[in-house]
Chains A and B, each alone.
Chain A
């Protein structure tokens, strides 16, 4: 049994210890906002927050999550998360939308760390998140907008 919390709720799962957190979230807990894209931490679609830090859930064995605090896109409610989600809509970032949960989780983690990021900060923090539709121009614009609204 692995015990941890997801979006503030305590959960307990009985799966093989090597099962990635991604598949526990998706198949056991039915939280499907976190996406599978590559399985090898190359695309960032599976990004969640583990103990406040962005993590690629596809390569995070569930055994390593014991007693941890996981936040997924479904539970993203802190001021930075709300500001990011809002900016994503107002800038019309998503195209196919599949990568955007991961993008939003990484962007929120960035704003928690650096409230007013530069383009270089954004490029660094978001380098692990692939968008095949190449919505990058708008991702950058939306992060700046969220930062502006957070300060206001």
Chain B
């Protein structure tokens, strides 16, 4: 069953068997290929991977069992901290009945056929889909490998397969007393024909799913050994920094590198579509050379507006939305006839993802082919972008997926920007070479691809009994999907990522209208951890809180009354109220509590924040309680970790951060003026997981949306102030 060397191809089943297997597996793309050399089949470079410096062949499957008794799962999702290495390996190990200590994980290279995200149709990570789309696929891969090991044991021991048991990585036959490890049977199992169908476990028999397991990447990441893009070392590799235009949409007119040439270590400078690429022997030389470079920019057609102008334009646009996402009842009439109308406007700034590892990508041209190494979030797109940029067929390009030092959406680029920039810089050299493109923190902060600037206008009517009779909501912002391969996901001109989270308002309100208007700005934007929910949850959950307060209702009981048709939202809300011992928003002692509940990516999260006034005048978040329902809890400890991290990530943004433009130029540059949450600002967090037998859903993003409104609701109770223009630092400084 091992596939660690080329020579193993001699044991390979006939080339057609894998394809046959894929067919009988119901098109799920199960790629468990056992002792099978795909290079003989002509799938070429994409199937070749390198592990620990050894060229290995046939990584086209998901499970590799080696004679040394390790089980390596090829992980088709980018590990950027959210835990797919551990999560997907758990699913395989469960059905394989492996011992957790023998499990390993490795990033799968770009290969759309084998490693596509079943929710997207291409290989890529996003939308908190990793475990959700892999749940059956990975379990089937594990069950298939198990069946082949059992068949090999049955052959070798001359006993019926049905009498063989597997537990914690050991196969046993009670009658004969024989037993064997996976490693001992790996090769023999490789000669078995994969079963056409496998039966998956009844969840009540799970032994690993639902248990606390140490992350497979914890050790490498606690010793400096984990390999990130910036750590890639290739012989004679050059470091490339690119001088980018100061305004979005700018182009290089000309440049003068005469001063740059004086920098020790400078190698070359070339114009590429993204700017001027500066090549040097290392980072410091490249940085100094870039500083010495004189570039004339062509700023025709660049974005020159400032943030305040954009907000004023968005405000005017909110009066005239042009697309409707949701329309039930007659919201206009209900508002006209209402006894009381409450109105609010919200402004959400551009936000940088600011992952701690800035954008980077290593690429190498050699022997007519290109190989890339980086934290690639959309291999299904980037692979082709690199091939197209280099003018090569896909088969000549290999993309190795490494750990990413955070992403939060930043590396999920619909147009493969960073791959295109690296490939352009490589191509511009016009010779065989190895380069590592590195962005500085300032490049990353000013390089665009932000969470969009968004303005919301909400109006609601309260009837005489204090019930919300109508809710009218308009969202204005740039579209993330328009003009990208994801445009197909738009319906009737509505970009779902603009209105998600409010267009599906779970509250029982008879008249609801959610409309939008797409703004045109030349600032590149992108999904940012929890995407539209980053702003819709804030507007929806603070607005409903104010409406409940106006009607004299408790924030928890008032929401529960509106959630009669949504058992899972109500479930997490009840769970968090119980966890926090909720007795109302006022708790005395200079503190107040706020609550929020929000569904995103099919996962339900409710949070309660307890807040005081900080010495800096901003909210100090003392404690947070969190309840999450994500279906079957595959890795409970990782679910908790993602809730903790999501809370910190969301809190940082609502308190401190905004990217602003001054005549089109980004004002912020580094962590000094776009600041990060620090350890002393992190609240204590208590998480409870609501038991569920539903299919598992994601947890990477859903912890983020509720924290902002929970804190804002607490702050309003504490101070009487509604903060509707984020971040808090901006509103409270005025």
Tell me the A residues contacting B by CB distance below 8 Å.
Answer: 15-16, 19-20, 23, 26-28, 30, 32-40, 42-43, 45, 72-74, 85, 88-90, 92-101, 104, 122-124, 126-127, 129-140
Contact = CB atoms under 8 A, between A and B. Distances in A.
B406 A92 contact: no
Nearest to A94: B221
B679 A97 contact: no
A27 B438 CA distance: 13
Given A74-B224, A134-B649, A134-B652, A98 B356 contact: yes
B687 to A, nearest CB: 10
Given A23-B284, A35-B405, A134 B222 contact: no
Given A132-B354, A137-B644, A137-B684, A88 B218 contact: yes
B679 A104 contact: no
Given A37-B357, A42-B672, A92 B649 contact: no
A123 B679 contact: yes
Given A20-B284, A36-B438, A134-B677, 12 more contacts: A33-B225, A42-B670, A72-B224, A73-B224, A88-B218, A95-B641, A96-B81, A97-B221, A98-B406, A126-B679, A132-B406, A134-B649
A28 B224 CA distance: 17
A133 B679 contact: no
Contacts of A140: 679
B679 A139 contact: yes
B282 interface: yes
Interface residues of B, number: 64
Contacts of B143: none
Interface string B669-680: 011100011111
B357 A94 contact: no
Given A133-B81, A135-B644, A38 B671 contact: yes
B223 A33 contact: yes
Interface in B201-234: 214-215, 217-226, 228, 230-231, 233
A94 B215 contact: yes
Given A94-B222, A127-B679, A132 B356 contact: yes
Contact of B641 (A23, A28, A92, A126): A92
A134 B645 contact: yes
Contact of B676 (A16, A43, A89): A43
A139 B685 CA distance: 13
A97 to B, nearest CB: 3
Interface string B634-659: 00011001001111110110000000
A97 B685 contact: no
A32 B230 contact: yes
Contacts, number: 176
B523 interface: no
B223 A85 contact: yes
A47 to B, nearest CB: 11
Nearest to B669: A40
27 contacts: A30-B233, A36-B230, A36-B358, A37-B357, A37-B671, A39-B440, A43-B356, A85-B222, A89-B218, A94-B215, A94-B218, A96-B81, A96-B404, A98-B228, A101-B224, A123-B680, A124-B680, A130-B671, A130-B677, A131-B648, A133-B649, A134-B646, A136-B678, A136-B682, A137-B684, A137-B685, A138-B641
Contacts of A123: 679-680
Contact of B644 (A26, A122, A134): A134
Contact of B214 (A19, A72, A92): A92
3 nearest CB pairs, A to B = A33-B224, A134-B648, A98-B405
